[in-house]
Each structure stands twice: as structure tokens, then as C-alpha cells.
Amino acid sequence: MKMIKSLVLGSAAGLLAMSGAQAADLPVKAKAVEYVKVCSLYGAGFYYIPGTDTCIKLGGYLRVDVLGNTNSDDTGNIGPYANNRYTNAYTWRSREDLNIDTRTATEYGVVRTFWDATFSWTTGDGVAQSDPVGLYYAFIQFAGFTMGKAISQFSAPWTAYPANIFDGLVGGGGDVTGVNQFSYTADFGQGVSATISAQDQSSYYQAGTYNVSGFTAAGLAASPLAIYGTNGIAGGTAAPDIVGMIRVDQAWGLFQASGAAHLNHAGYYSGIGTGLTSGLETAGHPDDVWGWAGQLALSIKNIPTGPGDTINIQAVYTDGATRYNIQDLASQAGAAAIYGGSSVAYQSLGIGFAPDTVFGTGTSQQLVQTWGMRGGYTHNWDPHWASSIYGAYAAINYNGASKALICANVAGQALLTTCNPDYSIGQLGFTTSWTPVKGLSFTGDVTWTQLSQNYAGLLTAGNTAIGKPNVAYEMKNQDTVLFMLRAQRNW
């Protein structure tokens, strides 16, 4: 019996030892693979980041622009347009855009981040220009707040593009590349919302506070970015712009009313705008002065001409807040100098300049008033072809004190019969696009721009930087035409 018992126990121990050895030889069980899952909460293209409850969407486009009769990409050939051998027959740009959209559902609502940047290569002015990174948007949205670089709450949803791809339309706000802001939006339901916002004015919303004392008549054409004196925004920032907006966005279309308050804060009377050698505190300075802007925008959808057809229109008025009319990409940011032919002088010249304020040494800032409008109509011929017509207008007006300060400096120009810095810009364009497959489009665009200025007679001036001699020019309205072909793949 003992022998049988020992045999059984020994066999059991051997089996346990063998099973332990075999178990040690087996591979460790791998963790389950986490596959990327579709996130349907926020629309097509979102996926869950593995191991998290955050959804992410990648997007962007690759774009190629070829433009005729411009020294810039697609902002118009306004200042300076030499109309000589320094004028480009064409300008070329290739650009890649990348954007990243993340969203996470929380007990306080959705937390969203959005980032958008471009990588460009542009040939212009005879020089290849590599633009490594252009940051468009970088913002956080949470519980109604928007914090970071986003489209201004003043702008209509189409920014500066009511029906166009041309970048340089006047007639309203339109910082398509975004502006730093801290905003709060209240959603009242049924497509009704309201927003209050503090936004940075220094990047895109300072048209300039100009000391016009001592500038010469020759300076009117010598540098179209400073034709009425020396820029005083070297005074630094004092307050952000305060923006308010009310919007109704429903199936029939959209209505929006926007307003902005803009503080004009200049430096000192002497040495303004000269960097490290700016004027001394003892020179004095003009007092700060608030400007403002107001805009109405309307979009009409589902019109009888066809599915997807849209009409977008807007109108704006500014008083010391010019960038809300002549946006940062429009007409060389409000400084125009266009040369043309003449039957009575060497050549003709049209000029216009649109700062926020002007002042003289020892005087107060004088606000510059503007008004404008823009609009467009888009018609879809079929799912592959679409055309649009668009236009814009902006008028710039100086008060009596401003005109007196400016014209005192050109009094020695005996042949200049009228000194009046008021001017206007009119624009009209036509676009046709073909989309052979989803996400790929080819577009042709032509834009006509007219500068209507109010100087008369002859002005003796020159601009050696673009080959213009110091001779008499006939002051005259000017026209330019820009052509563009674009290929774009969205993804």
C-alpha cells in the first residue's frame, strides 16, 4: 500500500513539474490592439485618438496660383504700381495648408482646439520667397469662450470673400488669417447668438496715426506706405479693440450686425516711428482718441436661380478705425500710388492714403472717416461648374482740419490746382470654377480696380525705388486689372 501511495504521489509531482515547465515556455498574452475608431459626434472626418476620449480631424489643401499683372499674390497691384519694367507680368505661388481640429466632450460642454498653418513658396519682384510658416489660426473654445488667434468677431462668416477668391476687396472687415482675441458667445437658440470680444489691434487693425507736419509734396509719391508724414503707432499698445456682434443664422440665410471701438494711441511729436531714436518725452504727444466702426451683413440662400446659389452683401462705416473697411490685404493696406499714361505730362499718377488719424506737431488727432460695401452672387450651373460676380467700393474722407494740415505742405506746388486727399476705390470681378472630382478645383478670376482721387493739376515728385524721375506728373484717376488661375486640392 505504501508502495502504491509513493508511486501516485511521485507521478503527480512529475506531472506538476512538467506542466510548470510547459507553462513557462508559453508566450505572454499580448495586449489588445487599439484600432482607430470613427468619431461621429462632430461630423465626417473625425476619429478618436487611441486611448483617449478626444476626437481629431486633419484637413488642409494644396494650392497653386499663377497671377498676371501683379507684384503680389492676389491683393491687387495698387501701391506702388509702377507700370514700367519693374512691374511683374506674372507672380507665382505654391502653398500647402494643414489644420488640426480636436474636440472633447465634457460636463461643461465641448472643449475644442483648432490650429491652421500654411507653408508657401512665392516668386515676386524677381525674387523667390520661401515663407516657411504662416500661422492662420490657433485657438481654444470652451463653454462659449474663444481664446487665441481666430477670425475677428466683427467679420462676416465669409470674411473678405462674398463670392470671390481675390484677396484684396475693400468694403468691410476680413482678417482671413485670424487675430488674437478673448471672446464670449451666448447662444440663444434658433440660430440666434451674440458675442462680446477683446481683440488685438496691433497686428491687423492699426491703419496708422500720422504726423503730417513737415512732409513734402515729393513724399506723396516717394513712399506709398507713408505718403502723409511719419507713422506714430510706435506709441505702443494701450487698449485692445472692443467688438460686439449679434447674428441670426437660419435656413433662409444670415443677418449680422457688428460694432467695434478702436483706441488711437500715438507716440511723441518728434522722431515718431523711428525705432530706437524715437522722440523724447519732452516733445509732447497728442491725446488718445477713440474711433469706431459699424457693419451690417446679409446672406440669402435657397434663391430661385438654383440649388446652392447664394447672395452675400455687407456695408460698413468707420470713424478713426479704417482697417474695418480697408482690411489688411486690401489695396496695399490702404496706401495707393498708381502710375499711368498722360497727354500733358511725363506720366500720370493717382494716389490715396487711408490712416486712422492724422495730426500735426502740437495739434490733436483728427479722425479719418470711411464708408464702404461689398457683395457677390454665386451661381452653380451644375455639380461641377460654378460662376460668381462680385464687387466692392470704399470712400475715404478727411475733415477740414485734416485737409488743412496736409495741404499746407504742398502749397509750394504751383501747378497742383486742387489739393484734396479724399479718394475712393471701386472693384469688380468675375470668377468661374470647374470641379471635375470632389476636392479638386480649377478656377479663373479677373478683377478690375479703379482708384478715383481728388487731386488735380500737376505734382512734381519722384520715386527712384521704382524708377520714377523727379518730374511733373498729371494727377489722374487710375485703373488696373489682375488675372489669376488657381488649382486647388482640398483634403
pLDDT (tens digit per residue) in 126-159: 555 556 679 999 999 999 999 999 999 999 999 9
> What are the boundaries of each domain within the chain?
32-490
Taking all residues of the chain, what is their mean pLDDT, rounded to a whole number? Answer: 87
Residues in CB range of 51: below 8 A, 6 or more apart: 34
pLDDT band at residue 7 using 50, 70 and 90 as cut-offs: very low
Least confident of 78-87, 334-343, 371-380: 78-87
The pLDDT assigned to 22 comes to 47
The pLDDT assigned to 214 comes to 67
Residue 53 has pLDDT above 50, yes or no: yes
The pLDDT assigned to 42 comes to 95
**Cross-strand pairs, 115:** 100, 138
Class of domain 32-490: mainly beta
Residue 20 has pLDDT above 80, yes or no: no
For 469, the grid coordinates are: 524721375
Does the predicted TM-score (pTM) go above 0.85? yes
Contact 244, 195 (CB under 8 A): yes
The pLDDT assigned to 74 comes to 62
Residue 327 has pLDDT above 70, yes or no: yes
pLDDT band at residue 2 using 50, 70 and 90 as cut-offs: very low
In whole angstroms, give the CA distance from residue 73 to residue 90: 9
The pLDDT assigned to 321 comes to 97
pLDDT, average across residues 8-19: 44
In whole angstroms, give the CA distance from residue 431 to residue 375: 13
Backbone φ and ψ for 219, nearest 5 degrees, come out as -70, -15
- Fill in the amino acid letter for 181: Q
pLDDT, average across residues 56-74: 89
Q: Count other Cβ atoms within 10 Å, centred on residue 200.
A: 17
161, 273, 408 from 395: Cα distances, Å: 19, 27, 23
Residue 335 has pLDDT above 70, yes or no: yes
| DSSP strands (E only) in 7-164 | 47-48, 54-68, 90-106, 109-124, 127-142, 145-150
In whole angstroms, give the CA distance from residue 174 to residue 192: 22
Determine if residue 207 is left, alpha or beta; phi over 0 gives left, psi from -120 to 50 gives alpha, anything else beta: alpha
The pLDDT assigned to 236 comes to 76
pLDDT, average across residues 237-263: 97
For 315, the grid coordinates are: 456695408
